[in-house]
Structure 1
Amino acid sequence: MRLPDLEAWAIFAKVAELGSFSGAARELGLSNPTVSKAIGRLEARLGFALLSRTSRRLSLTEAGRASLDRASRILAEGEAVEEEAADQSTLPRGLVRVSAPLSFGTAYLGAALPGFLDAYPEITLDLALSDRRVDLVAEGFDFALRIASLEDSSLLVRKLCTVRILLVGAPGYFDTRGRPTHPAELLRHDALVYTGSAQRGAWRFSHSLFGEEVVEPPVRLWADNADMLNPLLLARQGLALQPEFLVWQGLRDGTLEIGMPDWSPKPLGLHLVMPPNPLRPRRVQLLIDYLAKALADPPWSQSQA
């Protein structure tokens, strides 16, 4: 049995990425003849051409295009293995890029991270707080925190905890406008709506005995940030579906109240979402494990007792 020529496949991936033998040689720290011989060796072994060469341009053949994805993975996984091995013998260092929802990140990541920064002084964090769903691979993020019901994908997912979505309003609002007992009664109320929600203006509730109901209450205000809704709730301007992590303190101190407690929106999950390659630098895995522990038993879940 012959071992695969992994070095040649990695060189091929770099040549295809840069579109140049000389560019690949410079980036890999090899000579031009070494790169050329590796491609020639690979093509001779396969019995067909991977690259089409002219005096002016370099392009992939059909066979080359079909082989590129796996070749690129060989290169990426080889780089990750070497980086991880080197990390084991040195103090973890380098940059970790993380995407997280704006409201959640502002409220909880800042409080969670000092312990990590103290433990790993050579690791630098780049936090992108936004409710936009980023493309982890294309935009170069190491992982993301997402609050959602996640669809199937090639991404790796680790659920940290459950996030309940609650219908809430100020007690004074309910005193004036009435306390609904069925979703249909929400048509007589004012809705404050977070536009980033999958439900948007269509509010879906379920009951243990009566099944599901969907209602579209009249919208008084739309907002693309859920934090914006809390002051309006406290000012008795309407009702909102809010994640529990934004309202648990108001519920605890009585400034907010749950409406229709027998009817519940579908809960979401707080997930760590990672690119499909399971090999990650040690600095990234350290932060993933740290956040998994720090966020697995959040303060809002303790308030349910």
Structure 2
Amino acid sequence: MTRRLPDLEAWAIFAKVAEHASFSRAARELGLSDPTVSKAIGRIETRLGVTLIARTSRRVSLTDAGRAALTRAARILSEGEAIEEEAGEQAAVPRGRVRVSAPLSFGIGYLGATLPGFLAAYPEIVVDFALSDRKVDLVAEGFDLALRVATLDDSSMLSRRLSTVRLLLVGAPSYFERHGRPVCPANLVAHRALGYSGSASRGVWRFSHPTAGEETAEPTFCVWSDNVDLMMPALLAGQGLAIQPEFMVWRELREGRLVTAMPDWSVDPLGLHLVMPASPLRPLRVQVLIDYLARELAHTPWARR
């Protein structure tokens, strides 16, 4: 047998009628019509099969059953009011925990720098970061938000694109001194490479040219890793070429420790996205973090709108 949910609204209305000993005064305080209040009392009386309120033309009084029920009904009304008051305060002052998933290298390189300002502005929010290059299931794993450097393909999520992330073919000057500089994808077959194993097309690099079109290359890979930080020492030591996101190498390029190769050829860029579960409502603590990260990450040296 399926149990019906209790009619909590009707019990709260009953408590208010009992408080004022008046249907009309209760209706005014609750912002309801007199018939709505009367029907609510009628619903629970019919459901219980007892009379809770004795009605006469001059007065309203509780029956024995009504007096027995009043304490718990008043508690339902009081608890409901407390819940709404507390929820309203939370909406006005962001507080609570926000769980965020982000790529490991990007999180260490950029998210940590945003924390001092955010924590100072929102001292009652706890930010719980999970850094991994694994693509998490936000809903199943209980995340409020994810930062992804990717071409998005999950239409079930809401997303906010923050910037374009260029992918650059780079190498150390010492590597080019020893092995020469490739000028087109066909040259890469003779070169050593450091590969990101999280790529969708492992072992194959794809390039495009404004007039020559698209070409692929399969260099000889000497290192594979699912984390681009691990490859940086070998890359800087001139042990191979790598396709790296600009946010990983912009400092090295500026300082001349790395240089780009094949500037006429490009790799399809990625986007930096804030991704969140599809829901029409979002807690304020999550929304303020989204807005804060969007502002902070829009002004990084490599960010391109």
Matches within 5 A, 1:157-236: 157-236=159-238
What whole-Å deviation, never above 9, does each CA across 1:65-124 have from its counterpart, x for those lacking one? xxxxxxxxxxxxxxxx998744233x3211000000000000000001211100111100
Q: Is the 8 A contact 1:207 1:264 kept in 2?
A: yes
Equivalent residue, structure 1, for 2:38: none
Q: State the shift of 1:244 in Å.
A: 0.4
**1:93 counterpart residue number:** 95
Match in the other structure for 1:290: 292
Q: Distance in 2 between matches of 1:84 and 1:181?
A: 61
Equivalent residue runs for 1:235-254 within 5 Å: 235-254=237-256
The one-letter code matched in structure 2 to 1:88 is A
Partner of 2:150: 148
TM-score if structure 1 supplies the norm length?
A: 0.71
- Deviation, 1:201, is 1.3
- Is this contact kept in 2: 1:170–1:236, CA < 8 A? yes
> Any stretches of 5+ residues in structure 2 without a counterpart?
9-42, 48-83
Aligned CA RMSD, in angstroms, stands at 2.6
Distance 1:149 1:83 in 2: 40
With the length of structure 2 as denominator, give the TM-score of the two structures: 0.71
Q: Kindly indicate whether the alpha-carbon contact (under 8 Å) linking 1:95 and 1:123 is maintained by their aligned counterparts in 2.
A: yes
Aligned amino acid, residue 118 of structure 1: A
SS in 2 for 1:214: strand
The one-letter amino acid of 1:140's match is G
**3-state DSSP class of the match of 2:182?**
coil
Identity of aligned residues (%): 64
**Match of residue 255 from structure 1:** 257
Aligned residues: 230
Give the match for residue 39 of structure 2. none
Matched residues in 1 for 2:86 and 2:209: separation? 51
Task: Name the larger-Rg structure.
Answer: 2
1:268 aligns with 2:270: yes
280 and 84 in structure 1: CA distance in 2 versus 1, 3 angstrom threshold:
farther
Mean Cα deviation higher: 198-207 or 131-140: 198-207
Instruction: Please give the alpha-carbon distance, in whole angstroms, between the structure 1 residues aligned to 2:207 and 2:201.
Output: 11
8 Å contact kept, 1:84–1:280: no
| CA–CA separation in structure 2 for the residues paired with 1:278 and 1:260 | 46
Alignment of 1:113-152 (within 5 A): 113-152=115-154
Aligned 8 A contact 1:168 1:239 in 2: yes
Paired with 2:154 and 2:285, the residues of 1 have a C-alpha distance of 27
1:31 alignment counterpart: none
**Alpha-carbon distance between aligned partners in 2 of 1:238 and 1:190, rounded to the nearest angstrom:** 5
| Kept after mapping to 2: 8 A contact 1:136/1:144 | yes
Listed one character per residue, the Cα deviations across residues 28-75 of structure 1 (whole Å, up to 9, x for unaligned) are: xxxxxxxxx99xx9xxxxxxxxxxxxxxxxxxxxxxxxxxxxxxxxxx
Q: What is the one-letter code of the residue matched to 1:181?
A: V
